[in-house]
């Protein structure tokens, strides 16, 4: 993004192409953009364009998709539509374009009531290339039956050529949803929706229930496509500096001129309302090795008003905020401190993306017989709010948080323009006014005026309490469910096999052979548009920064277009820590901003944070040396963001939090650890590949071991053990004292500060901050060291998962070594040329690939939501053999280099780019070093790939880690022993 004062701009560009009509145009001063709404005259297609000076242009086309069952038809269609189209009749244009593009984002999403196809690119040629492919994929998809079989579901014999072998279900979405539904929060949400929405589309699993997915036929898929994928049902959204009329001319030429108005109106209907609350109980699977006590989830949820009514939505967000925003909020405080559960439920909050909103709250770590008490706790808290109200400063703090979220320019995860588009999309889907959601200031001012009435919040709480459309869900653990699910699938497959005729058996064999042939077929990719290395920018741009000091505290300042926000980070050199203290580092960073400060309790501090800033976070950042991964540099980072008007209070809060942190609130400490344990356990199946890679890499370097011990599967196990141990009050008090000792060491370490704000505000801002930081004690030691480490290990981790996550790791070199860029390119080349086909297309996993992690000097293979295990590990090895035995493709090399350069050049938010630049410099990754790495990537040759593959991967000892189920561990017991793997349990 260009470095300008975003808030000062009011870009206007309302002109429409002849086939479109302009319906409205509105400036949004808070975002520095204008938004125009258009309608295609012939088909009625909507187009919303957000005008910005940002060169990262974003495109999205969404279709309202309203499934009436849980077969996953919308989700499978999302996948299959990207597998070839009229103009691009190749097997996999989507993944082919990823390799031929400089995109900063490419994907497709299936939500509960829409399917969207977005991309972003800062290169105009690339944007046009992607637009052609996306438009053709969406509106002229060929929907090959073999693509449906690959992406959705199919039957195959375990021996594809033997009709007497056992049958099995295969399919990318089938396995993806097995993995997705292994997550307890996913099961909670889906079960809650089943009861909250008895009659509309939200009753069903739009992603697909693995037990229902095999019921979907190819004809049903085609019928859904024909009815839903039509411009009359489409919403186009764009963002950036390309004019709306230019977009519309391309929409018309590429697709819209071939369609007429469709009379069918696709929409979500109003949900039927309950006249009395409903109580239900269901179960979720837990490995047999785990204790089922205190593992029940209890959630209370209400169906609320329509999300398209902005005032209703803001009132719901305001009520959710005052009840749940932080630990000082009354309902969150009740849920955190109750003995009825170990932590608040991950379901707590407002869900406003659907046509009708959901408010939910509850606890995890409870028991079935606590249902009524949990329900009464929640209802009594609401009654207390109705009786006593909420302090005005707490209401103002929630409104402050809404304003801060509204003004912040993101872009470090999703592109900023895509974030704005997705904010507006839900309203557009339900034919509301999405422009209102982006221009919130008028509505926020109206709500702020209403909050001057002390009975306003009381009335909102009373409306919730009086709402009879309420569901109390109890989800209890059942260690036998998974076995029953697996047995039911086996029985279903056995019955299907028995009913097969000879012709049907032969059809399954023929389909498997045809699909295998299709997956290995060399296709003419030249029909797809592409960018080349000639389109790559010559160099990495430099970000300007200045350095100075407040007293003896050095600081670095960046002037960036932050839209009136200030970002501050305090970096503290990690001190020398004992092995035991190091094991508590993740607990220390957890509590460092969540406990009391000075004379203030943690509740008062939480309220103060909400009033002053967007919260304060603490985390550690560690990197190996650019020339030696064993050479460690590490920091504690205290980070916050705030509106400019609150910058002084923000800095004072940061200083107070660091200097006056107290460790005498033992119950709070126990609550925080219980909450962290719940979050980490529930996230296993969502990040199984990352956890597998961490476990496989744990012996590669000191940092790799710390990462595994603190944030990996080993860390989760340690966290569970710690949570159990501190049930004893003496152990809890001892932990508090140990954390206090760590903190004293932090106070004695050297420190530095980062400040990011708009350039024209920096001088005045630093003058305001100087009195706060001037006498801050920033001197100290840099004593953190870790012993050198370079060992192999092999582990099999047992988790509650219906699918597998596999990883292999090899020792390589750090980023300063000339081979590091080559290995980085090799990883992309292997993914594109072999791993994607072998693991995803043929193996049925949701994803798989390789990466070079130069921070720990390791090359890592991985698979994600994978039905296979041994075969995938074998495919990792086969990819190495393929590399060494197959002539290197010049086209494939260019695509791999493009992929790496694209990831290096990917834009972030203005503040995010500054943070990244600063931290890179702190760790010795200077701009010169980064530019050299990039130039080395661009210079990689065919012989370089072969050389590093032979040197680092071929015949080298690999470390292995897999995450799988108890039943898989039992079935592979002999193989596990033979491979020298240890079985690890959480």
Tens digits of per-residue pLDDT, 477-492?
A: 998 888 899 999 999 9
- Span 684-715, pLDDT tens digits: 988 999 999 999 999 999 999 999 999 999 99
Q: Kindly report the CA angle at 887 between 881 and 892, in degrees rounded to 5? A: 100
What architecture (CATH level 2) is domain 546-773?
2-Layer Sandwich (3.30)
* pLDDT value at residue 868: 96
> How far is 125 from 535, CA to CA, in rounded Å?
8
Q: Top-level CATH class of 794-985?
A: alpha beta
For the sheet with 847-853, list strands across it: 847-853, 858-866, 804-811, 959-964, 794-798, 982-985
- Span 876-933, pLDDT tens digits: 999 999 999 999 999 999 999 999 999 999 999 999 999 999 999 999 999 999 999 9
Q: How many CB atoms lie within 10 A of CB 290?
A: 16
* pLDDT value at residue 12: 54
449-468: average pLDDT:
96
* pLDDT value at residue 890: 95
Alpha helix stretches (DSSP H) within 813-857: 819-830
10 pLDDT higher than 60: no
* pLDDT value at residue 409: 87
**Which residues make Cβ contacts (< 8 Å) with residue 73, sequence separation at least 6?**
67, 208, 216, 220, 221, 224
Matching residue, tokens 């299936």: 110
Residue ranges of domains in the chain:
278-414+431-478, 546-773, 794-985
> How far is 598 from 605, CA to CA, in rounded Å?
10
* Both tokens assigned to 475: 């989800």
Matching residue, tokens 């972030």: 908
Q: What is the mean pLDDT of the chain?
A: 94
Give residue 160's pLDDT band: very low, low, confident or very high (50, 70, 90): confident
> How far is 433 from 584, CA to CA, in rounded Å?
49
> How far is 277 from 903, CA to CA, in rounded Å?
50
* Both tokens assigned to 985: 């349990």
Q: Kindly report the CA angle at 415 between 847 and 77, in degrees rounded to 5? A: 45
φ and ψ at residue 800, rounded to 5 degrees: -85, 90
- Span 226-273, pLDDT tens digits: 999 999 999 999 999 999 999 999 999 999 999 999 989 999 999 999
- Cα–Cα nearest to 634, from 721, 575, 570: 575
Q: Which regions of 12-149 does DSSP assign to beta strands (E)? A: 20-28, 33-40, 46-51, 57-64, 105-106, 109-110, 114-121
Query: Do the two domains 278-414+431-478 and 794-985 of this chain adopt the same fold?
Result: yes
- Span 739-761, pLDDT tens digits: 999 999 999 999 999 999 999 99
Residue 478, H or E segment: strand 470-478
- Span 272-299, pLDDT tens digits: 999 999 999 999 988 777 788 999 999 9
Matching residue, tokens 């919303």: 48
- Span 104-115, pLDDT tens digits: 999 999 999 999
The 3-class secondary structure across 871-919, one letter per residue, is: HHHHHHHHHHHHHHHCCCCHHHHHHHHHHHHHHHHCCCCHHHHHHHHHH
* pLDDT value at residue 13: 54
8 pLDDT higher than 50: no
Q: Which regions of 546-674 does DSSP assign to beta strands (E)? A: 546-550, 553-559, 565-573, 616-624, 632-643
1 pLDDT higher than 50: no
* pLDDT value at residue 7: 38
Q: Which of the two residues, 292 and 985, has the higher pLDDT score? A: 985
13-19: average pLDDT:
87
957-964: average pLDDT:
96
With contact defined as beta carbons under 8 Å apart, do 262 and 455 qualify?
A: no
The four Cα atoms 427, 430, 431, 436 give a dihedral, to 10 degrees, of: -20
> How far is 980 from 986, CA to CA, in rounded Å?
19
- Span 60-104, pLDDT tens digits: 999 999 999 999 999 999 999 999 999 999 988 999 999 999 999
pTM over 0.85? The answer is: yes
Q: Cα Rg for the chain, rounded, in angstroms?
A: 28
> How far is 197 from 201, CA to CA, in rounded Å?
8
Q: How many CB atoms lie within 10 A of CB 775?
A: 11
Strands 632-643 and 343-344: unpaired
Strands 20-28 and 278-285: unpaired
- Span 399-437, pLDDT tens digits: 999 999 888 988 888 899 999 999 999 999 999 999 988
Please give the CATH superfamily to which domain 278-414+431-478 belongs.
Answer: Metalloenzyme, LuxS/M16 peptidase-like (3.30.830.10)
* pLDDT value at residue 123: 94
- Cα–Cα nearest to 756, from 446, 248, 408: 408
* Both tokens assigned to 623: 């990197």
Percent of the chain past pLDDT 70, that is, above it, reads: 99
* pLDDT value at residue 800: 87
């Amino acid at each position: 993004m260009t470095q300008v004062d975003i808030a000062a701009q009011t870009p206007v560009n309302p002109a429409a192409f002849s086939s479109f009509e302009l319906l409205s145009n509105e400036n949004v001063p808070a975002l520095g953009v204008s938004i125009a709404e258009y309608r295609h005259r012939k088909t009625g297609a909507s187009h919303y364009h957000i005008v910005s000076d940002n060169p990262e242009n974003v495109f999205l086309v969404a279709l309202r998709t309203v499934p009436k069952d849980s077969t996953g038809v919308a989700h499978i269609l999302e996948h299959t539509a990207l597998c070839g189209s009229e103009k691009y009749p190749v097997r996999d244009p989507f993944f082919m374009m990823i390799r031929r593009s400089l995109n900063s984002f490419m994907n497709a999403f299936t939500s509960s009531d829409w399917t969207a196809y977005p991309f972003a690119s800062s290169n105009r040629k690339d944007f046009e290339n992607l637009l052609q492919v996306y438009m053709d994929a969406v509106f002229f998809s060929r929907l090959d039956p073999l693509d449906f079989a690959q992406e959705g579901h199919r039957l195959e014999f375990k021996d594809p050529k033997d009709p007497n072998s056992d049958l099995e279900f295969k399919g990318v979405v089938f396995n993806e949803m097995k993995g997705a539904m292994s997550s307890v929060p996913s099961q909670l949400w889906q079960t809650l929706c089943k009861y909250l929405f008895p009659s509309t589309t939200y009753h069903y699993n739009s992603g697909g229930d693995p037990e229902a997915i095999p019921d979907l036929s190819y004809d049903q898929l085609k019928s859904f496509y024909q009815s839903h994928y039509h411009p009359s049902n489409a919403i186009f959204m764009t963002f950036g500096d390309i004019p709306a009329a230019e977009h519309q001319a391309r929409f018309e030429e590429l697709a819209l001129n071939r369609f007429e108005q469709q009379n069918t109106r696709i929409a979500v209907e109003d949900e039927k309302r309950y006249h009395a609350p409903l109580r239900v109980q269901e179960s979720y699977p837990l490995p047999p090795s785990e204790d089922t006590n205190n593992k029940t989830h209890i959630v209370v949820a209400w169906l609320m008003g329509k999300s398209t009514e902005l005032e209703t939505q803001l009132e719901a967000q305001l009520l959710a905020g005052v009840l749940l925003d932080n630990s000082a909020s009354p309902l969150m405080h009740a849920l955190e401190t109750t003995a009825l559960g170990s932590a608040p439920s991950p379901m707590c909050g407002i869900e406003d993306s659907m046509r009708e909103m959901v408010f939910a709250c509850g606890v995890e770590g409870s028991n079935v017989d606590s249902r009524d008490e949990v329900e009464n706790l929640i209802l009594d808290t609401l009654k207390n709010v109705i009786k006593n109200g909420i302090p005005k400063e707490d209401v103002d703090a929630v409104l402050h948080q809404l304003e801060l979220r509204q003004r912040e320019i993101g872009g470090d995860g999703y592109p900023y323009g895509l974030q704005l588009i997705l904010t507006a999309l839900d309203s557009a889907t339900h034919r509301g006014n999405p422009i209102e959601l982006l221009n919130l200031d008028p509505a926020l001012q109206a709500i702020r005026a209403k909050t001057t009435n002390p009975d306003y919040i009381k009335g909102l709480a009373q409306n919730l309490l009086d709402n009879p459309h309420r569901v109390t869900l109890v989800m209890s653990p059942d260690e036998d469910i998974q076995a029953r699910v697996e047995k039911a699938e086996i029985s279903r497959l056995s019955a299907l096999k028995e009913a097969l005729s000879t012709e049907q058996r032969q059809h399954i064999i023929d389909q498997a052979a045809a699909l295998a042939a299709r997956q290995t077929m060399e296709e003419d990719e030249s029909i797809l548009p592409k960018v080349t290395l000639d389109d790559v920018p010559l160099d990495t741009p430099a970000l300007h920064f200045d350095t100075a000091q407040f007293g003896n505290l050095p600081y670095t300042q960046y002037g960036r277009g932050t839209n009136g926000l200030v970002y501050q980070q305090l970096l503290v050199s990690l001190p020398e820590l004992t092995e035991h203290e190091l094991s508590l580092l993740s607990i220390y960073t957890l509590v460092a901003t969540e406990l009391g400060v000075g004379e203030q309790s943690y509740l008062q501090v939480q309220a103060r944070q909400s009033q002053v800033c967007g919260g304060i976070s603490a985390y550690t950042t560690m990197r190996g040396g650019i020339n030696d991964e064993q050479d460690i540099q590490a920091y504690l980072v205290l980070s916050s963001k705030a509106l400019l008007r609150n910058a002084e209070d923000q800095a004072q809060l940061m200083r107070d939090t660091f200097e006056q942190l107290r460790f005498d609130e033992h119950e709070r400490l126990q609550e925080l650890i219980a909450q962290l344990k719940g979050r980490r356990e529930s996230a296993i199946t969502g990040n199984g590949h990352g956890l597998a890679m961490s476990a496989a890499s744990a012996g590669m370097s000191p940092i790799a071991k710390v990462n595994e011990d603190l944030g990996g599967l080993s860390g989760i196990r340690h966290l569970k053990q710690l949570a159990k141990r501190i049930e004893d009050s003496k152990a809890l008090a001892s932990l508090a004292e140990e954390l206090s000792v760590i903190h004293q060491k932090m106070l004695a370490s050297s420190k530095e500060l980062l400040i990011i704000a708009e350039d024209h505000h920096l001088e005045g801002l630093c003058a305001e901050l100087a009195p706060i930081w001037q006498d801050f004690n920033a001197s100290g030691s840099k004593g953190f060291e870790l012993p050198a480490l370079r060992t192999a290990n092999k582990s099999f981790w047992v988790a509650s998962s219906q699918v597998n996550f596999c990883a292999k790791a090899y020792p390589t070199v750090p980023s300063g070594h000339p081979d590091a860029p080559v290995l980085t390119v090799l990883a992309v080349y292997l993914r594109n040329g072999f791993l994607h086909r072998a693991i995803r297309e043929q193996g049925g996993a949701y994803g798989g690939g390789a990466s070079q992690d130069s921070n720990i000097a390791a090359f890592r293979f991985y698979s994600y939501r994978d039905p296979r295990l041994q075969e995938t590990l074998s495919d990792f090895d086969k990819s190495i053999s393929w590399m060494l035995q197959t002539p290197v493709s010049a086209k494939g090399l260019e695509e791999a280099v493009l992929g790496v350069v694209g990831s290096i050049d990917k834009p972030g938010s203005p503040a995010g780019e500054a943070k990244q630049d600063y931290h890179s410099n702190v760790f010795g990754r200077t701009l010169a070093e980064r530019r050299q790495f990039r130039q080395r990537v661009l210079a990689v040759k065919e012989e370089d790939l072969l050389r590093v593959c032979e040197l680092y991967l071929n015949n080298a000892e690999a470390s292995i880690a897999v995450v799988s189920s108890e039943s898989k561990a039992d079935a592979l017991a002999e193989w596990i022993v033979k491979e020298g793997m240890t079985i690890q349990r959480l």
